[in-house]
Amino acid sequence: AWMDTFIRQHNTVDMSVAVDTGNGLITPIVKGAESKGLAEISETVKELATRAKAGKLQPQEFQGGSFTISNLGMFGINQFTAIINPPQACILAVGGTEKKVVPGPDGNPSVANVMRVTMSCDHRVVDGAVGAQWLQHFKKFVENPQSMLL
């Protein structure tokens, strides 16, 4: 995180998730996401989003965070660029899936669901090459979600 005169390195992943409340966006935080499984993260996001839409979040539940995910796929948006929430250093913009013709395993054309993501990084904190490496790892997990369950 960029703190005006220094970089703060977080020891946990407090993942902010952009939620449309009907009155604007708010970013509730999944605290300690690195130690949670996918099912627990999913349940936490659903619960936080429900409370955010009802205006029932406490300030500590939406102030802070170390990284944000913004998903506009449910609005039919396939690709966008999200703006970083200071003092965070990165935000991941997730678009919806679309069917594309791609080369299949046998070399013949095949139809696949393709999702686009864009990561914005504050280069005072995260070098672009490091951001690209992070995206490579993210891509591997998305293409093989079973690997996240192990």
| Catalytic machinery residues | 123, 127
Strand-pair category, 90-103 with 109-121: antiparallel
CA atoms within a 13 Å half-sphere pointing along the CA-CB vector of 91: 17
Question: Long-range CB contacts (< 8 A, 24+ apart) of 94-102?
Answer: 94/69, 94/70, 95/71, 96/72, 97/73
For residues 21 and 63, give the distance between their C-alpha atoms in angstroms, rounded to a whole number.
16
For residues 111 and 93, give the distance between their C-alpha atoms in angstroms, rounded to a whole number.
24
